[in-house]
Amino acid sequence: MCGIVGFINDIDNSNAVLSKMMDRIRHRGPDAEGKYIDDGIALGHRRLSIIDVTSQGDQPIFNEDKSMVIVFNGEIYNYAEIREKLTGAGHKFMTNTDTEVIIHGYEEYGEKLLDMLRGMFSFVIWDRNKKKLFGARDFFGIKPLYYAIMGKSFMFGSEIKCFLEYPNFRKELNPEALENYLTFQYSPTNETFFRNVYKLPPAHCFTLENGKFTARRYWDVNFNADNTPDLDEWVNRISDTFHDSVEAHKIADVEVGSFLSSGVDSSYVACIADVDKTFTVGFGTDEKYNEIGWAKNFSKAIGKENTSKVITPEEYWGNLAKIQYHMDEPLADPSAVALYFVCNIASEHLKVVLSGEGADEIFGGYNVYSDPDGTLYDKLPRTVKRTIADIAEKLPAKRGVNFFVRKGRDVEERFIGNAYMFTPEDRKKLLKIKTSAPAPAEITSKFYKRVQCKDDVTKMQYLDLHMWMAGDILLKADKMSMANSLELRVPFLDKEIMHLAEQIPTKYRVTHEKGTDETKYITKYAMRLSAKKDTPPQTAGTASKKKLGFPVPIRVWLKEDKYYNTVKNAFESKYAQEFFNTELLVKLLDEHRNGKSDNSRKIWTVFIFLVWYDVYFNKNGEY
């Protein structure tokens, strides 16, 4: 695991600039650094040693005749098999790294190499003869890759903050990203919060040649249910494929640990991986916010050592600025802070951890997936439900009211992912600035069109796989782990597992218990049964436990004087007044404090943007 940076070399002091850019992401690779500078290119690399921990694994790495050079971030789990084929084709290897396999593989197979890889990656290859830059990002977007185009300048890197050191970089806020963020709680398009800075989307590659930048998708998810196998066979297939993936993800020359909560995903990973150490964090003593007890009992049952930490409110709030600095863009997911702390305690013991991200998107685990067509209300005529939804939408947001709003809308209208903060109308009222940001449905429509003939559960999964997972889940996983110089691996996010899950019928992803008085939905149905089969009997309750995620008591804290005043001061600040009608922000805060409505997530979304803006624009990106 590493960090990469680079730029098309059209400046005189490229060595000094490259050093400063690399220093910005030293946390991604504190073990070693390397540079390659030529007339056309400057490439930099920071290394966290995992495979071939000797200096032979340092980057950049060349092919045999040094006509190509690569910088790479990630892990290729099937590199040994690919290396064997390349050796048979006559390639000579100088190291035992997966990095060298990629460059020889590209030399041999070109862009078709991407179809052969199994792992997480972002990399860039410079072809010295053709003066051509080629880069790619992994299938799910586990590893980030940003690029900036400013006039004749082209930069790329694992994190945006490294661009701040480039002399021709113009730091400007992208107001469209702010407006989109207010609805999604993350930046949902390929644009970022910095104007002219972009994210290479997951499963995309790019070329830059003769000043022309082109990008294309090289892989996609393809849900196509196979109704032939019965449930038991699917359960066994999941078990076999998951065991294989976990074994592949344990490849390392250093110790590997595992994160652990009370949920089935991380429990399944920890048990199958058979690691020595597990790590857990929580808040206070209330089980709604603290899964440490569950995790310790599970660890004891599987004979492993658990290290845990209770995060105090002071620690949580005191680290928000540091965390938003590391995030590069504002992310209003409160669990990102908890993830930072569990990465921090794990990094004190080892360099690599396994985690359960991706299981919900792949196997159908989010509670919202159980919503479609599950009640008697769904049997009402569509026109009646839409009329009721129109009325309910005008009422104050509450759980019961939201039910009628959801049920009166098609999935394409109502579902943009696991978070829906401000409606387009509300965000326009809230913003003082005018933008040309698209409506949420415009952003999601291109994904829904690809699965327009599928059922609603499949549509929601497909959307989440392409937006929520990359924009929220994997963003915080990469940035919080790398902030602590820790490699985080996600064995559910494996091509072989995805290929299997694409074939599982919807009824085995989300189902309901028969014979009960009321409909009780079970998400990740087949996967839960697989976990139950593979874990000890005394831990069986974990496989059926309702999903919690990383629960954080934000709504409670915002009613306390100390944190209420912290947020209010930010809402009334001069820089808040540049963007927002601040009296509406304070009204949201006061209504929450007085118990009129739970505005905690909306408040948090705006507050986190202000924390991020203060770091990157008031403090010039210094922390």
- 233 pLDDT band, cuts 50/70/90, is very high
Mean pLDDT of 147-175: 95
pLDDT, averaged across the chain: 91
Q: Which residue out of 2, 162, 205, 271 is catalytically annotated?
A: 2
To the nearest 10°, report the CA torsion of 160, 165, 171, 176.
-10
The answer to whether residues 409 and 555 touch, using CB atoms and an 8 Å cutoff, is no
Mean pLDDT of 564-587: 97
pLDDT at 537: 78
Give the pLDDT confidence of 35-61 residue by residue, as tens digits. 999 988 999 999 876 655 555 668 899
Burial class (CB in 10 A: 0-12, 13-18, 19+), 171: middle
The answer to whether residues 170 and 100 touch, using CB atoms and an 8 Å cutoff, is no
Q: Is 162 a catalytic residue?
A: no
CATH H-level superfamily of 2-173+188-217: Aminohydrolase, N-terminal nucleophile (Ntn) domain (3.60.20.10)
Q: What's the predicted TM-score (pTM) here?
A: 0.93
To the nearest 10°, report the CA torsion of 424, 427, 431, 436.
-20
pLDDT at 143: 97
The answer to whether residues 294 and 588 touch, using CB atoms and an 8 Å cutoff, is no
What distance in Å separates the CA atoms of residue 284 and residue 290, rounded to the nearest whole number?
7
- 518 pLDDT band, cuts 50/70/90, is very low
pLDDT at 287: 57
- Asked which of 37-51, 190-204, 541-555, 573-587 is least confident by mean pLDDT, the reply is 541-555
Answer yes or no: is pLDDT of 520 > 70.
Answer: no
Q: How much of the chain exceeds pLDDT 70, in percent?
A: 91
Show the tokens assigned to 75: 């892990």
Mean pLDDT of 354-366: 96
pLDDT at 622: 78
CATH 3.40.50.620 residue ranges for the chain: 231-365+467-540
pLDDT at 517: 46
Backbone angles phi, psi at 543, to 5 degrees: -65, -25
Encode 340-362 in three state secondary structure. HHHHHHHHCCCCEEECCCCHHHH
Q: How much of the chain exceeds pLDDT 90, in percent?
A: 77
- 254 pLDDT band, cuts 50/70/90, is confident
CATH 3.60.20.10 residue ranges for the chain: 2-173+188-217
Respond yes or no on whether the N-terminal peptide bond of residue 551 is cis (omega within 30° of 0): no
Mean pLDDT of 23-37: 93
Answer yes or no: is pLDDT of 284 > 90.
Answer: no
What kind of fold does domain 231-365+467-540 have according to CATH? Rossmann fold (3.40.50)
Question: How big is the CA angle at 234 (ends 233 and 238), to the nearest 5 degrees?
Answer: 120
What distance in Å separates the CA atoms of residue 378 and residue 371, rounded to the nearest whole number?
10
Listed in sequence order, the DSSP H helices in 408-524 are 411-414, 424-430, 440-450, 456-466, 468, 474-483, 495-501, 506-509
Give the pLDDT confidence of 432-460 residue by residue, as tens digits. 999 999 999 999 999 999 999 999 999 99
What distance in Å separates the CA atoms of residue 246 and residue 491, rounded to the nearest whole number?
5
pLDDT at 78: 95
Would you call 42 helix, strand, or coil by DSSP?
strand
Mean pLDDT of 191-201: 98
Using alpha carbons, select from 391, 416, 418 the residue that is nearest to residue 405: 391
> What are the CA-CA distances from residue 203 to residues 114, 137, 165, 614 (Å)?
9, 6, 28, 33
Burial class (CB in 10 A: 0-12, 13-18, 19+), 212: exposed
Q: Averaging pLDDT over each range in 251-260, 270-279, 281-290, which range is the top one?
A: 270-279
Give the pLDDT confidence of 3-19 residue by residue, as tens digits. 999 999 778 899 999 99
Mean pLDDT of 282-303: 82
pLDDT at 519: 47
